[in-house]
Amino acid sequence: MIQAEPITKTTWWIRGCGCDCYLVDGEVPALIDCGCGEVKIRRFCEALIQKPVRTVICTHAHIDHTGQCGLFDQVYMTERTAASSRNAMDEDPAKLHLDYTPVFVQDHEILKLGQRCLEILRCDCHAPGNIMILDHTERILYAGDELDADQVLLLPGFAEKAGQFHSAPAATVSDYRRLLIQLDQRREEFDWICTGHNGSPLKPEVLTIMIELCDRILAGEEGCPDCSSATYSARDRHFPYPQAHYRRASWKGFSLVYCADSLTDRAQNSSVIPATPLHAMCEHNAAMAQAVLQKNMKSNR
């Protein structure tokens, strides 16, 4: 069931719609990620704050974060995110809202929503084109799936067009460590980190723990071949196949799921091995989503 909880006086944490979304209230309200549930999230947000919510900002392309973008008048995302944001993955494209024209955002761009200033931070680790959003006004870092209370997944991106297939992870462990160091250098600018799943908000100290975790992996400590956890199991369609060589390494309660062949360089030899069942099937769904979009656009004319 969809529900809302205040994090600050002007920030709402919205759960139960595929991913955790954040409603940034003010003169120009905006939603960070929009989920993919049955409940129309725009209507839910407007009822909550009693004003129009026209804008959504998407952290990354995964359909659990972008499936309702078509309900909004203004959709901000990176160009790379837009390339695969209509890939329906294992969702039925007919139940999604995929008809929208995104406005592309750039690294370090400031989105001024009335008095509220949001800075775009390009990350590209959990998914190609992934961003975080730094809320200068409320001192919150919205991390999407780049940080998580249970596990961060460094998996490949999803197909951007029919016939295309990505198999190497979007980022190596050393790419991810570099991102964490950059964020850690700005730690004075935020008090909380709000994530896309599994409990929010996190304290900025999570950055130190994840950097230590990456250091341990890069120093040769091998993660566990069983990547499962309380919130991630072989029942999930985005759970790695054994032959894709993924590992789960944990430290002080946080985990990273990474490809053992992609510690410092992206794996060269995995070009034909899909990382997960979802990666194996989403090439097909990219074509299906495209067909639904074209049908919607025709009927809108």
**Site residues (CB under 5 A) for Zn ion?**
62, 145
Pairing, β 30-32 against β 55-57 = parallel
The CB-of-123 to Zn ion minimum distance in angstroms stands at 12
Specify the residue, 28 or 179, whose C-beta has the smaller distance to Zn ion: 179
Q: Which two tokens stand for residue 131?
A: 């961003």
Q: Which two tokens stand for residue 110?
A: 């400031």
Q: What does the alpha-carbon distance between residue 68 and residue 17 come to, in Å, rounded to a whole number? A: 10
Specify the residue, 20 or 145, whose C-beta has the smaller distance to Zn ion: 145
Give the residue among 108, 53, 51 at the shortest CA–CA distance from 75.
53
The CB-of-81 to Zn ion minimum distance in angstroms stands at 11
The CB-of-109 to Zn ion minimum distance in angstroms stands at 21
The CB-of-230 to Zn ion minimum distance in angstroms stands at 18
Specify the residue, 145 or 160, whose C-beta has the smaller distance to Zn ion: 145
The CB-of-299 to Zn ion minimum distance in angstroms stands at 30
Specify the residue, 19 or 105, whose C-beta has the smaller distance to Zn ion: 19
The CB-of-145 to Zn ion minimum distance in angstroms stands at 4
Specify the residue, 130 or 270, whose C-beta has the smaller distance to Zn ion: 130
Specify the residue, 64 or 283, whose C-beta has the smaller distance to Zn ion: 64
Q: What is the 3-state secondary structure (H, E, C) of the chain?
A: CCEEEEEECCEEEEEEECEEEEEECCCCCEEECCCCCCCCHHHHHHHHHCCCCCEEECCCCCHHHHCCHHHCCEEEECHHHHHHCCCCCCCCHHHCCCCCCCEECCCCCEEEECCEEEEEEECCCCCCCCEEEEECCCCEEEEECCCCCCEEECCCCCCCCCCCCCCCCCCCHHHHHHHHHHHHCCHHHCCEEEECCCCCCECCCHHHHHHHHHHHHHCCCCCECCCCECCECCCCCCCCCHHHCEEEEEECCEEEEEECCCCCCCCCCCCCCCCCHHHHHHHHHHHHHHHHHHHHHHHHC
The CB-of-44 to Zn ion minimum distance in angstroms stands at 21
Specify the residue, 138 or 148, whose C-beta has the smaller distance to Zn ion: 148
Q: What does the alpha-carbon distance between residue 260 and residue 187 come to, in Å, rounded to a whole number? A: 29
Specify the residue, 102 or 144, whose C-beta has the smaller distance to Zn ion: 144
Give the residue among 282, 125, 293, 108 at the shortest CA–CA distance from 210.
125
The CB-of-28 to Zn ion minimum distance in angstroms stands at 26
